Amino acid sequence: MSLLARPLRAAVCTVLVLSGCVTAGPAAADAPACGHGRALRYVVAFDRGTTESAAREQVTAACGATTGYYPQIAVAVATSGDPSFGARIGLDRAFSAQAERLAAQRVTEVRPQPARATLPVTDPARVPTADLSGQQWDMRMINAGQATGDSDGRRDVVVGVLDSGIDPDHPDLTGALDRDDSAGCLTGEPDRSPSAWAPTTSVHGTHVAGIIAAADDGRGVTGVAPGVRVASVKVIDDRGYADPEAAVCGLMWAASRHLRLTNSSFFVNPWTLSCIRGDDRGVVHEVLARAVEYSTSAGTLNVAAATNEAVDLTPSARSGSAGPGSGCEALPAGLRDVVAVSAVGSDRVKAGYSSYGLGVIDVTAPGGETGECVLSTVPGGYAPLCGTSMAAPHVTGVLALLAAASPSAGPRQLRRTLDAQAMPMPCPADYDLTGDGTQDAYCAGYEGFNGFYGHGMVDALAAAAPRGKPDLAR
């Protein structure tokens, strides 16, 4: 499962290493007859600068069919029923999450996970109208309640919610939903039809969207940045999986639509505990890194949850040098241009489930703990959920406030201001959550920047610049 509203599990798989040298597939004349089996989807990384026609030729020669190509990053989405497709085109550049899950099921004899129940259609007239803002401890923690007065410029800010879909009928979100910029990306290619981006089995995306932009209308909940718009970019399927081709599609779609921000409250990684050990970063890392790099250069700042696996993501351990850490990498949160977010509970202490890591975590925000989760919108009403999934949209909402106050600010300017305005939080003197006398995690760094909280707690009040404040991009 890839949603970050609860502890995660994924299949163990063979790590694929992306080498610096990419070789062409066998010539069609020399290739053996194509095999036939279940058609599976692959993401394929080519040398940068590879044309679409050249990529299609290589995919065809390897017994596959190209269904999409992103020439800006030289990444293709392909399908093939030949079990040898990956080997033919090169295991150093092709990956199929579907194939890895099937292989894991065969090895462990685990039956495929059944589909979830379909969500009921929201009847706006039956959504509770009571004001629930008194239960939003999370908003008070980041000073969001004091930052909702001036909404100038917010309608011009569109946030891509890369998730499981946003309920188009929820009264707290209907005014915020940007249907024109919404798309479904489950196949690796954007589909703008409403049925492709609407939620079908999961409340997750609707909950995340509410934290960012739920209306300040005196009923239900209020988001961090009411007045900004959200686009539903569906990358999580009905079983909770976010495959790499879907994530690449979502990032590239956001860039093509010039969205200021994206929120990724999921992880893309078929390895257990988000771990790609040693230097085995693989195709998944490469295609996502290219997509994030491109979207950042196009003006989109990406925010991602650190995962709920309580692992140390400190990069020194991945590079083979001495130091703490598990050798794990969270994708996309661990990528250089992504704002990675850890979660705290109502006590302002890192939540036990939240992953962490010096040099990875940029800022922290409320994610809740069992018994006191974050209340937000869900189809049909409101519900509490806990996780770094909930922490990340608080940060995205604060960035949306910054973007509205500074229309010319690019990703790097927004990020610098976010870090500078964060409220520093020192490492806890004692992090023994279970009371057994043993530290449950170790926080490296100092008050202004550490592995638990990064630069600190985000501050919505500071981000909601008063009218007339100079544009931070200038």
Geometric angle at alpha carbon 340, from 212 and 351, rounded to 5°: 80
Instruction: In whole angstroms, give the CA distance from residue 11 to residue 270.
Output: 6
**Amino acid at the residue 81:** G
Calculated CA dihedral for residues 459, 174, 253, 69, nearest 10 degrees: 150
Contact 259, 302 (CB under 8 A): no
Say whether 163 is catalytic: yes
Q: Which of 216, 389, 406, 455 is catalytic?
A: 389
Measure the CA–CA gap between 104 and 282, rounded to whole angstroms.
18
Q: What does 191-229 look like in DSSP terms, one character per residue?
A: B-SHHHHS-SS-SHHHHHHHHHH---SSSB---SSBTBE
d(CA 402, CA 453): 20
Q: Are strands 183-184 and 229-234 parallel, antiparallel or unpaired?
A: parallel
CA 99 to chain centre: 22
Q: Is 265 a catalytic residue?
A: no
Three-class secondary structure of residue 312 per DSSP: strand
Report how far residue 319's alpha carbon sits from residue 18's, in angstroms, rounded to the nearest whole number.
16
Q: Do the bridges between strand 261-264 and strand 338-344 make them parallel or antiparallel, or are there none, so unpaired?
A: unpaired
Q: Which helix (H) or strand (E) holds 285?
A: helix 282-297
> How far is residue 259's CA from residue 251's CA, in Å, rounded to a whole number?
10
Name the active-site residue from 82, 138, 163, 459: 163
Strands 65-70 and 94-95: unpaired
User: Cα(68)–Cα(79) distance, rounded to whole angstroms?
Assistant: 10
- Return the amino acid letter for 413: Q
Q: Is 204 part of the annotated catalytic residue set?
A: yes
Of the residues 2, 202, 204, 326, only one is catalytic, namely: 204
Beta bridge partners of 41: 79
**H/E stretch holding 382:** strand 381-385
CA distance 25 to 239: 33
Do residues 89 and 44 lie in contact, with contact meaning Cβ atoms separated by under 8 Å?
yes
Strand partners, 232: 161
DSSP H or E stretch at residue 411: helix 411-421
The runs of H, that is alpha helices, within 109-174 are 137-141
* 403 membership: H or E segment, kind and range: helix 388-405
Token duo for residue 33: 């007859």
Active-site residues, by number, are 163, 204, 389
